[in-house]
Amino acid sequence: MKKIIAIDGHAATGKSSQAKKIANFFGYNYIDTGAMYRAVTYYCIISDLLSEPINVRTIIERLNKINIEFKISNKSQIILLNGNDVEPFIRKMDVAENVSKIAGIPEVRSFLVKIQRQIAIKNNVVMDGRDIGTVVFPNAKNKFFLTASLEIRAKRRFEELKSSNETIIYSKVLENVKIRDYEDSSRLVSPLKPAKDAIIVETSNLTENEVFERLISLING
Ligand code: CDP
C-alpha cells in the first residue's frame, strides 16, 4: 500500500480543488471518488433505472456492466464510464439530485470501494470523498475533514455551475447541498462523518489558498 491522503467533508466544501492541488504538490495521483458515485448515477439515468420507485435490484445487477477508470487528458483528470468521457455530464443537477440515493446502496459502495483500494496499491494518492478516512483507508496517516457553512458552500457551488454555463437557480443549489448533507450523513452504510483521527478544517472564512497552505502545513510523512 502506497501513501494516502484522505480528504472527506460536506458537499461543496472545495475538497476536489484542494485534493487536486495537494496531489500536484506532492506528485501523487488524485482520485475523485465523488465522480465515481456520480458516474454510476449517470449510468442509471441514461439506462432509465431511476424512474420511481427506484429498482435497486436491477441497479445492483447492472453493476457488472459498469467500468470506471480515470485518464489524464491535458494535465487534468477525466473519468471514463465504459470508455466514454462523462465528465461534462456528471456535474449537472440531474446527477446531483440523485447521487446520494445511489451512494446509499451498499453494493454500489462496495463495488466502488474495491476500485478505490486497487488504485492505491500501485499509486500514492490523494483521495477525496465522504468515507475515505473512515472506511476506505482507516489507516491513512493524513486525514482531513473539510466543512463550511451551508450558505457559503451553496454559493461556491452556484458560482461554479454558473461558470460552466448551466442554467441554474441559487435556491435549487442550496436545497440540493442541504439534502445531500442530510442523506449522506444519515445513511446506514458508511455515513458521512469525520474519522476520529481526522483534522477538521472549517473553511467558511478562508480563501482557497489559505485552506491549501493550512493543509500542506499539517501533512506529515
Ligand atoms: O463535490 P461535492 O461535494 O458536491 O460532491 P462529490 O464529492 O462529487 O460527491 C457526490 C455524492 O457522491 C455525495 O453527495 C455522496 O452522496 C456520494 N459520495 C459518497 O457517498 N462517498 C464518497 N466517497 C464520495 C461521494
CA 77 → CA 54, 157, 191, 220, distances in Å?
A: 31, 20, 27, 25
**Per-residue pLDDT tens for 93-119?**
999 999 999 999 999 999 999 999 999
Please give the number of the atom of ligand 1 that sits closest to the Cα of 37. Answer: 12
CA of 103 to the centre of ligand 1 (A): 8
Domain residues for the domain of 27 are 4-220
Q: How many domains does the chain have?
A: 1
pTM of the entire predicted model: 0.96
Q: Provide mean pLDDT across the span 157-179.
A: 91
Closest residue by CA, ligand 1 atom 25: 34
Candidates 33, 111, 137, 174: which one to mutate for ligand 1, based on the most atoms within 8 Å of Cβ?
33
CA of 157 to the centre of ligand 1 (A): 13
Residue with cell 488524485: 30
pLDDT, position 12 = 95
**Per-residue pLDDT tens for 45-94?**
999 999 878 889 999 999 999 999 999 776 678 999 999 999 999 999 99
113: CATH:
3.40.50.300
Please give the number of the atom of ligand 1 that sits closest to the Cα of 12. Answer: 3
Nearest-angstrom CA–CA distance, 184 and 178: 10
CA 56 → CA 59, 104, 201, distances in Å?
A: 5, 10, 35
pLDDT, position 53 = 80
Nearest Cα to 170, choosing from 153, 180, 156, 158?
158
CA of 9 to the centre of ligand 1 (A): 9
pLDDT, position 44 = 97
**Which residues approach ligand 1 with their CB closer than 6 A?**
11-12, 15-16, 33-34, 37-38, 99-100, 103, 129-131, 180, 184
CA of 27 to the centre of ligand 1 (A): 24
Nearest-angstrom CA–CA distance, 128 and 14: 10
Closest residue by CA, ligand 1 atom 21: 130
Closest residue by CA, ligand 1 atom 16: 100
Closest residue by CA, ligand 1 atom 1: 12
CA of 129 to the centre of ligand 1 (A): 6
CA of 12 to the centre of ligand 1 (A): 9
Residue 9 DSSP label: E
